[in-house]
Amino acid sequence: MLGPPGAGKGTQAVRLARIWSIPHISTGAILREAVKAETPLGLEVKAIIESGGLIDDAAITRIVCERLLQPDARAGFLLDGFPRTVAQAESLDRFMQDREPLIIIEIVLSEEEVLHRLAARMICSECGINAQDESEDPRCHDCGGRLVPRADDQEAVVRKRLEVYRKQTEPLVAHYGGRPTFCRVDGAQLVDEVTADIVKAVEAAASGQKGR
């Protein structure tokens, strides 16, 4: 899943993983767990995450590919937050050579809408999951942890993240755009509508591949 910060990738990934019964593999969650545990990797990435930067390509690729080798990912998986650069995408392509073709979803959202959404976004202080959209409950719907603003959702940090996204991540659209499995969805719709559009797009892309 591609898209700028605040496009709803995490929210949609959780929903879609439940619909298709496949693991939702979030690089953000993997890294936040390391930060919370104060591992050497966690201490290293904490400052990078809070400043809006991106983790080294080789390190994040190694982490993700190790996760994709686990048994629960054999029948499929949903990647959230990876790849973010063309170098990561090329490594993932090599890893996927003997598996089913990747289906790529780009969730499109304007910069103005990104800033509006992230200004109000909350995250669980315990498990790191985003709060449910438009929920007024001060507790996480998954684990009951306290909801807090994300450190990387401050406006100055968000603008830097958008700049990083444009420079490093948008080229992925050019990398994947010519593939029959590349799909684009309007992220400014209601959450249910975005989910429905993604399901339709993925089903159409998968059917097209089976017919080849």
pLDDT tens digits, one per residue of 27-64: 877 777 777 878 776 787 787 767 777 677 887 888 88
**pLDDT reported for residue 136:** 55
End-to-end CA distance of the chain: 23
Confidence of residue 211 (pLDDT cuts 50, 70, 90): very low
Residue 153 has pLDDT above 60, yes or no: no
Alpha carbon 161 to its chain's center: 14
Confidence of residue 185 (pLDDT cuts 50, 70, 90): very high
pLDDT tens digits, one per residue of 159-179: 888 888 888 778 999 999 999
Beta strand spans in 122-172 (E): 122-124, 147-149
Residue 200 has pLDDT above 90, yes or no: yes
Enter the tokens of residue 156: 């100055």
Residue 120 has pLDDT above 60, yes or no: yes
**pLDDT reported for residue 70:** 87
* Residue 142 to residue 17: CA distance in whole angstroms: 15
**Quick one: average pLDDT of 193-200?**
97
CATH number belonging to domain 9-210: 3.40.50.300
Domain boundaries, the chain: 9-210
pTM for this prediction: 0.71
Hey, what amino acid is at 15? R
Confidence of residue 199 (pLDDT cuts 50, 70, 90): very high
* Residue 207 to residue 72: CA distance in whole angstroms: 23
**Quick one: average pLDDT of 122-150?**
69
The CA angle 16-60-22, to the nearest 5 degrees, is 20
Catalytic residues: 9, 84, 121, 150, 161
Question: What average pLDDT is seen over the chain?
Answer: 82
Residue 119 has pLDDT above 70, yes or no: no
Greater pLDDT, 24 or 127 = 24
Beta strand spans in the chain (E): 24-26, 78-80, 104-108, 122-124, 147-149, 182-186
Of 161, 130, 151, the closest CA to residue 29 belongs to 130
Q: Which of 33-42, 147-156, 181-190, 192-201 has the lowest mean pLDDT?
A: 147-156
Of 33, 38, 43, 5, the closest CA to residue 157 belongs to 5
- 140 touches 128 (CB < 8 A): no
* Residue 140 to residue 171: CA distance in whole angstroms: 35
**pLDDT reported for residue 161:** 80
* Residue 72 to residue 85: CA distance in whole angstroms: 25
Burial class (CB in 10 A: 0-12, 13-18, 19+), 94: exposed
